[in-house]
Amino acid sequence: MMNAYEIYDLDLMVADPQWESGNSSELAIHRIHHYPAKFKSFIITKSLEYANSKGKNIKIVADTFCGCGTSAFEARRNGIDFWGCDINPVATLIAKVKSEKYQDSVNEKYYERIVKRFERTRDDIIMEPINNRIFYWFEDKQMRELSHLKAAIINTVPDGKYRNFFLVGFSNILKGTSRWLAKSIKPQIDPDKTPQDVLEAFKKQIKVMRSATIESSKELKGSKVVIETASILEHRDSWPKVDMIVTSPPYVTSYEYADIHQLSTLWLGYVDDYRSLRKGTIGSKDMNFKDTILNEINDIGKGIYNALKPKDHAIAKSVTKYFLDMSKAVDNMYGLLSDEGIIFLVVGNTKYRNVEVDNVTFICQCMKDKGFKIIDIKKRKISSKTLTPYRDENGKFMSTNDKKSVYAYEYVIIGEKYPNVKTLTT
């Protein structure tokens, strides 16, 4: 018989409402920091229910593109150990905070001390060197006050989960206190914007976060959570074996997320040049493209490259680099899973220059070639997902629905690991 994905026409598949919403509203903890393309929290619970229905004994869950930690929180909420990684240090900082329990009395104590220290020093000269790129985004008043606020946090709160809590709060007010165009996924200045007051923005942010963690700390169980700033492309021997992977691989242009997070990465000192965070991301452009690279991807990927090449060779090469990286990611996820483990990959397709970039079928073929058995594919609407879901005729992201929709649906590819077997059929 054929593999499941080979007998499914993705366009004709009917969306499964069971994978489009949860049984309860999402907790406020998932909204403590803006983050693009966030994972829907109920997908973790749906995946666990599906795995249990297949007789799987899930003791540890992994998310290999864990982003801001939705899966980490939901795994701990379900009393299951979690391991996750992401190459973006801003993402892993948020993820660690979301999946921790906090005593609000401790947060209150530190908050009051931070505010008091800030108010005492806010009119002083800047106390630390400022990255030159920061001057581009911030007016002098906000830049000086943010410098003092960051220093107040560092000098008040010992290194650890409570300092991380306030640094996440600091990170999430940066765009509002800057000249960044609100709700834009592209870095651009709003010439008409009046930046928010730093202290007032911080007070509101911490109030929201304290309320969210009071609620979430009641939900979290005692399971273990480990989150690493690392890439799944660079497998490490120290990584654990896991019983289930549930993750949403990035889209082709995921390297642009480095630009979106530049304010946080610069202010928190993760990099001196925000563009350096593009290196190592899935599909990043730091590759000397040679035609021999085509030998490293499957026929589906080759076909898409050949269709794109005459229309836009640069895009064709970028998509091929993405395919190359995703193929390696599938290999490493196979190695991460324990024998007979189960995997849930949430993937979407898109178009460039009217060429269908069929990520779903490409990844299914990668999984088959590695030894996964595709047991099911679920189609779900993503109209509520935080993405810019349209492209114009030049392939640029747009927010108006008079353009071509490219993210109307995504697919949950469900596979099982069968070790030492290369090509399996259902």
Summarize the confidence of residues 206-226 as an average pLDDT: 97
Please report the pLDDT score of residue 395 as a whole number: 41
- How are strands ordered across the β-sheet holding 404-405? 397-398, 390-391, 404-405
Mean pLDDT lowest among 36-50, 99-113, 224-238, 370-384: 370-384
Phi (first) and psi of residue 61, to 5 degrees: -110, 145
Which pairing describes strands 242-247 and 60-63: parallel, antiparallel, or unpaired?
parallel
Q: How many CB atoms lie within 10 A of CB 381?
A: 16
Between CA 280 and CA 277 the distance in angstroms is: 7
Mean pLDDT lowest among 7-11, 30-34, 162-166, 422-426: 422-426
Is pLDDT larger for residue 107 or for residue 126?
Answer: 107
Between CA 318 and CA 146 the distance in angstroms is: 37
- pLDDT of 423 over the 60 cut: no
Rounded to 5 degrees, what angle do the CA atoms 289, 293, 298 make?
140
Fold of 4-99+220-417: Rossmann fold (3.40.50)
- pLDDT of 384 over the 60 cut: no
Summarize the confidence of residues 213-228 as an average pLDDT: 96
DSSP conformation letters of 319-377: HHHHHHHHHHHHHHHHHHEEEEEEEEEEE--EEETTEEE-HHHHHHHHHHHHTEEEEEE
Between CA 225 and CA 83 the distance in angstroms is: 6
Q: pTM of the prediction?
A: 0.90
Q: 33-45: per-residue pLDDT in tens?
A: 999 878 899 999 9
Q: Tokens for 335, please give them.
A: 């190695």
Instruction: Enumerate the CATH 3.40.50.150 domain ranges in the chain, comma separated.
Output: 4-99+220-417
Summarize the confidence of residues 300-329 as an average pLDDT: 92
Q: 60-92: per-residue pLDDT in tens?
A: 999 999 999 999 999 999 999 999 999 999 999
Between CA 129 and CA 47 the distance in angstroms is: 47
Q: 361-373: per-residue pLDDT in tens?
A: 999 999 999 999 9
- pLDDT of 424 over the 80 cut: no
Single out the residue of 332, 328, 370, 323 nearest to residue 235, CA to CA. Answer: 332
Q: How confident is the model at residue 256 (pLDDT cuts 50, 70, 90)?
A: low
